[in-house]
């Protein structure tokens, strides 16, 4: 009796622990994501096959294939003349024809409709894996290799779980724009990306047992950036990684040019009233070689601008660039890969070093175009507007996985190689493990 009793006492806490573990892992198996949909306006049309339920859980009406119009007003959501604090639309069953539609756009899962400061608010509540079906094809082309799509699916899944509190104050988890992750619902889904999500179901990236910040970007231009250089806070798994540039990558190389006046105007509008730009140079580079800081000298003053800020102001694809022409007093210097190859002296338009014909050279008097690479004194003036040329590489902040790089890696592996997506992810995220969440 005593023994049995002791055993009972001993087993009970264990059973409780086991039950708790089952409950916890059960809850983790199907996390729900609440996505704030971009709807706009103060009214929305809902249709499909399902039920409209009030905050007390009572069925308000059946939803069928005719439009149900809901409006926001006075902090409430209205169905005809009746106000509610919110309404939940839930589909009758899951199937291709039974998705609920918001203004004719179909979504998996439930819809929660309420009133917000901006008008009507529709939140799409659905399982994490269902949500990813509408995300991965928006973030990477479904025509790309499956292993790259799988890497993208794992990165997007990790990003989602790590950012679940991003819109806490708005009453949902993530928005459906690039601010969080672009989500297009059922209309965006594609067979290939759905296979990638299914093949990697539940897998996430962890470092020391914790979810990582799985940042990704379109193209690194050959070298990724550290998180610290981009945003001021380093992560041990987001380091500088070199990679081959894919020649098919449309963002591998880019070039933009501005006249001295145009550049001055754009900087002025952004709060840097330096006037027409006379001189611009990268004063500090990040560990990956991106512009950390740019010095600008204009007719009215000077400014030191962070590379990331300059990227915003000039709408540049990345901060990985060189500035190829600059004016120095009455001399014009042509620089190529940081090496001075020609010096144009004063106003005499003479130069002594060979420069390719057609090269634009900036002088204080305006842009000059070199007609020939050997002639001396043979420089014709442009239209009087100095041109400042930025030659860059890559697209995006450069941190974490490069999507074009992932595609390139997937294509360069042998088909027989197993788990190429794992190699891709561990290439960009240093020292991580790939495991179920
Ligand atoms: Zn967002």
Centroid of ligand 1 to alpha carbon of 316 (angstroms): 22
Centroid of ligand 1 to alpha carbon of 94 (angstroms): 27
Centroid of ligand 1 to alpha carbon of 34 (angstroms): 12
Centroid of ligand 1 to alpha carbon of 379 (angstroms): 53
SS3 239: coil
**Residue 399 DSSP one-character state:** B
Instruction: Quote the CA–CA distance of 352 and 360 in Å, as a whole number.
Output: 16
Centroid of ligand 1 to alpha carbon of 153 (angstroms): 18
**Residue 152 DSSP one-character state:** H
Centroid of ligand 1 to alpha carbon of 358 (angstroms): 46
Centroid of ligand 1 to alpha carbon of 288 (angstroms): 28
pLDDT values of the chain reduced to their tens digit, one per residue, 437 residues: 333 333 434 444 444 444 444 444 444 557 999 999 999 889 999 999 999 999 999 999 999 888 899 999 999 999 999 999 999 999 987 555 679 999 999 999 999 999 998 899 999 999 999 999 999 999 999 999 999 999 999 999 999 999 998 999 999 999 999 899 999 999 999 999 999 999 999 999 999 999 999 999 999 999 999 999 998 899 999 999 998 887 788 888 998 988 889 999 999 999 999 999 988 999 999 999 999 999 999 999 999 999 999 999 999 999 999 987 544 333 344 433 333 334 443 333 434 344 454 555 554 444 454 443 333 333 333 333 457 889 999 999 999 999 999 999 999 877 667 789 999 999 999 999 999 99
Centroid of ligand 1 to alpha carbon of 177 (angstroms): 6
Centroid of ligand 1 to alpha carbon of 238 (angstroms): 22
SS3 250: coil
Centroid of ligand 1 to alpha carbon of 61 (angstroms): 32
Centroid of ligand 1 to alpha carbon of 173 (angstroms): 8
Centroid of ligand 1 to alpha carbon of 180 (angstroms): 4
Centroid of ligand 1 to alpha carbon of 160 (angstroms): 11
Centroid of ligand 1 to alpha carbon of 171 (angstroms): 12
Centroid of ligand 1 to alpha carbon of 48 (angstroms): 27
CA 422-428-431 angle, to 5 degrees, is: 75
Contacts of 263 (CB under 8 A, 6+ apart): 276, 277, 280, 314, 388
Reading the block at residue 381, the tokens are 């003036």
Centroid of ligand 1 to alpha carbon of 167 (angstroms): 6
Rg (CA), the chain: 29
Centroid of ligand 1 to alpha carbon of 215 (angstroms): 14
Instruction: Quote the CA–CA distance of 1 and 348 in Å, as a whole number.
Output: 111
91: left (phi over 0), alpha (psi -120 to 50) or beta: beta
Instruction: Quote the CA–CA distance of 114 and 87 in Å, as a whole number.
Output: 7
380 in Cβ contact with 357 (< 8 Å): no
Instruction: Quote the CA–CA distance of 31 and 129 in Å, as a whole number.
Output: 9
**Residue 395 DSSP one-character state:** B
Instruction: Quote the CA–CA distance of 27 and 17 in Å, as a whole number.
Output: 15
Centroid of ligand 1 to alpha carbon of 435 (angstroms): 26
192 membership: H or E segment, kind and range: helix 191-199
Ligand 1 is an ion; residues with CB less than 5 A from it: 175, 179-180
290 in Cβ contact with 398 (< 8 Å): yes
Centroid of ligand 1 to alpha carbon of 166 (angstroms): 7
Centroid of ligand 1 to alpha carbon of 179 (angstroms): 4
Centroid of ligand 1 to alpha carbon of 368 (angstroms): 47
325 in Cβ contact with 389 (< 8 Å): yes
Instruction: Quote the CA–CA distance of 181 and 160 in Å, as a whole number.
Output: 8
């Amino acid at each position: 009796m005593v023994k049995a009793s002791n055993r009972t006492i001993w087993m009970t806490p264990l059973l409780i622990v086991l039950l708790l573990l089952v409950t916890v892992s059960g809850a983790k198996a199907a996390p729900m994501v609440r996505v704030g949909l971009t709807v706009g306006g103060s009214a929305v049309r809902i249709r499909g096959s399902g039920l409209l339920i009030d905050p007390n859980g009572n069925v308000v009406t059946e939803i069928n294939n005719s439009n149900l119009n809901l409006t926001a007003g006075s902090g409430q959501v209205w169905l005809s003349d009746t106000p509610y604090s919110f309404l939940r639309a839930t589909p009758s069953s899951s199937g291709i024809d039974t998705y609920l539609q918001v203004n004719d756009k179909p979504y998996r899962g439930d819809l929660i409709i309420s009133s917000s400061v901006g008008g009507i608010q529709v939140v799409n509540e659905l399982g994490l894996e269902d949500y990813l079906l509408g995300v991965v094809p928006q973030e990477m082309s479904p025509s790309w290799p499956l292993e790259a799509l799988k890497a993208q699916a794992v990165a997007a899944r990790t990003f989602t779980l790590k950012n679940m509190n991003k819109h806490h104050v708005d009453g949902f988890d993530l928005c459906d724009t690039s601010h969080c992750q672009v989500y297009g619902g059922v209309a965006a889904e594609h067979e290939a990306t759905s296979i990638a999500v299914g093949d990697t179901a539940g897998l996430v990236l962890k470092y020391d047992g914790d979810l990582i910040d799985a940042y990704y970007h379109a193209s690194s231009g050959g070298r990724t950036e550290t998180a610290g250089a981009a945003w001021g806070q380093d992560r041990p798994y987001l380091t500088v990684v070199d990679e081959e540039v894919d020649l098919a990558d449309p963002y591998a190389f880019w070039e933009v040019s501005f006249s001295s006046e145009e550049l001055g105007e754009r900087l002025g509008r952004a709060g840097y009233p330096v006037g027409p730009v006379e001189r611009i140079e990268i004063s500090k580079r990040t560990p990956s070689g991106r512009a950390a800081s740019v010095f600008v000298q204009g007719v009215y003053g000077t400014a030191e601008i962070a590379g990331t800020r300059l990227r915003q102001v000039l709408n540049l694809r990345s901060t990985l660039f060189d500035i190829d022409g600059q004016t120095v007093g009455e001399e014009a210097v042509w620089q190529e890969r940081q090496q001075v190859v020609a010096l144009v002296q004063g106003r005499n338009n003479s130069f002594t070093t060979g420069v390719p014909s057609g090269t634009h050279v900036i002088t204080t008097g305006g842009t000059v175009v070199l007609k020939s690479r050997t002639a001396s004194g043979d420089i014709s003036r442009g239209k009087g507007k100095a041109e400042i040329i930025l030659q860059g590489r890559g697209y995006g902040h450069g941190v974490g996985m490069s999507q074009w790089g992932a595609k390139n890696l997937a294509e360069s592996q042998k088909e027989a190689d197993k788990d190429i997506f794992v190699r891709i992810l561990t290439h960009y995220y240093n020292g991580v493990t790939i495991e179920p969440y």
